[in-house]
Amino acid sequence: MKNVLAFLESIRDNNNRPWFEEHKDEYQNALETFKELVANIEAKLNKTDVLEKSKVFRIYRDVRFSKDKLPYKTNMAAYFERASKMRRGGYYIHIQPGGDTFVGGGFWQPEPEDLKRIRDEFAYDHQTISKILEDPLFVKYFEGLSTEDALKNPPRGYDKELPAIHLIKQKSFVASRKFSDKALLSPNFADEVVKTFEALRPFFDYMSAVLTTNINGEPI
């Protein structure tokens, strides 16, 4: 992974097309290393889960509607999609120098119908989700669910005194774990990523059950 970090540090300082074209071989070598990591993680994760596919994101930025016109991302990232509608949630890995590498997953801005179903479940039964998020294994890897995508006030129709109102106000339900550059270069990095993903499984299984049933627990 040293070549991945080295390239990303270079593109951060030389984010322009002439430099990229001149160093495209370095990019291709780094990309192949990252793809090998993704394939390794996918194979390990498939021993305990069932994945539909993995996707490595392109380094080219879409600058059409952005004030930031830098042409390239300064990270490498991939997504692992779980198989079938009965297995909800997805895994994500993001490699970026300077201790900004992180892995995690969850439910990023679900569709309105799914979001309402999740919120209704939290309003009806806060104990189950609280138990999952307070489990020692989950706490070992994550500092709860991200709150950066949360509403300031409760959504319409939900009492502000509900025990799970802090979760109901969120628009996404994701958890992540950061890694230092030193940890990224460790020989057991892929194993640590898989352990982190597996710690999300009870959360994923619960949310999958919620999203495939109605409030009465009947399949939909």
Choose between 66 and 139: higher pLDDT.
Answer: 139
204 band by pLDDT with thresholds 50, 70 and 90: very high
- CA dist 118 and 100 (Å) reads 30
Contact (CB, 8 A) for 107 and 173: yes
pLDDT at 217 over 90: no
Q: Does residue 33 belong to any structural domain of this protein? A: yes
**Span 174-202, average pLDDT:** 97
What number is the average pLDDT over the span 183-212? 97
Residue range 80-103: average pLDDT?
96
Instruction: State if pTM tops 0.85.
Output: yes
> Is the residue at 191 inside a domain?
yes
Q: Please say if the pLDDT value at position 216 is more than 90.
A: no
Q: Is residue 91 part of a domain?
A: yes
**The pLDDT of residue 11:** 97
Domain of residue 129: give its range. Answer: 2-211
What pLDDT, in 10s, does the model give residues 129-144? Answer: 999 999 999 999 999 9
In a domain, 220, yes or no: no
Write out pLDDT tens, residues 27-64: 999 999 999 999 999 999 999 999 999 999 999 998 78
Whether 216 is covered by a domain: the verdict is: no
* Domain assignment of residue 54, yes or no: yes
Q: What is the share, in percent, of the chain residues with pLDDT greater than 70?
A: 100
Task: Kindly state the average pLDDT of the residues 168-188.
Answer: 97
CA 30 from centre of chain: 22
pLDDT confidence of 180, banded at 50, 70, 90?
very high
Is residue 141 situated within a structural domain? yes
